[in-house]
Structure 1
Amino acid sequence: MKGTVVRKRDEGYGFIKPEEGDKDVFFHASAVVDITFDDLKEGDAVTFDVEEGPKGPAAANVTKVGNAAPAEAANDDNFDQAEAA
């Protein structure tokens, strides 16, 4: 799913508003992938999966849209340099 971070708390959790307009979905800092929780800001576009948590639906595999993992970015740079040579 795609959505937007609408609330983020210093306690290590926040809420995502899905593009589909469903209820906001809870996410925990441990669900954030490829960046740290602190790097994620309110208003950031994200992709995520929804899983059933102990208190209802919760986001998992939260990834910031347009954020390439450092290893992937390094591989892309090396590929471009190899092609140019």
Structure 2
Amino acid sequence: MSTQRLNGTVKWFNTQKGYGFIKPDGQDKDVFVHISALQESGLDRLNDNQRISFEMVDDRQGKKSAGKLQLING
């Protein structure tokens, strides 16, 4: 089963708090992103307004969040 990748823009990410939100293209609801998703994807930080590709995954509490992050260049 293939998982759909989504593209979006980082609304904000606070490294000290360890989380932030991504605004998916064409959707109204922002997606939560935890610092552990960055670490698992080999990223050290996200910048506001940065373009990103991601998959919806279940977090440790079983809630949907962004995972398998990849930066979109350009």
- Band the TM-score falls in, shorter-chain normalisation: 0.7 to 0.9
Q: Distance in 1 between matches of 2:48 and 2:73?
A: 15
- Does the residue aligned with 1:3 lie in a helix, a strand or coil? strand
TM-score after normalising by structure 1: 0.66
Structure with higher RCO (Cα < 8 A, 6+ apart):
2
- Give me the identity figure in percent: 32
Number of residue pairs aligned between Structure 1 and Structure 2:
65
Q: Highest Rg: 1 or 2? A: 1
1:14-53 deviation digits (Å, cap 9, x = unpaired)? 100000214101011111223212xx20100000000133
Q: Distance in 2 between matches of 1:27 and 1:16?
A: 7
TM-score after normalising by structure 2: 0.74
> 5+ residue gaps in structure 2?
1-5
How far residue 57 of structure 1 moved from its aligned partner, in angstroms, is 1.4
- Structure with the higher fraction of residues in helix conformation: 1
- Does the residue aligned with 1:30 lie in a helix, a strand or coil? helix
Q: Distance in 2 between matches of 1:31 and 1:5?
A: 14
Q: Distance in 2 between matches of 1:55 and 1:16?
A: 19
Q: Distance in 2 between matches of 1:20 and 1:30?
A: 26
Q: Distance in 2 between matches of 1:45 and 1:21?
A: 15
Is structure 2 residue 12 aligned with structure 1 residue 7?
A: yes
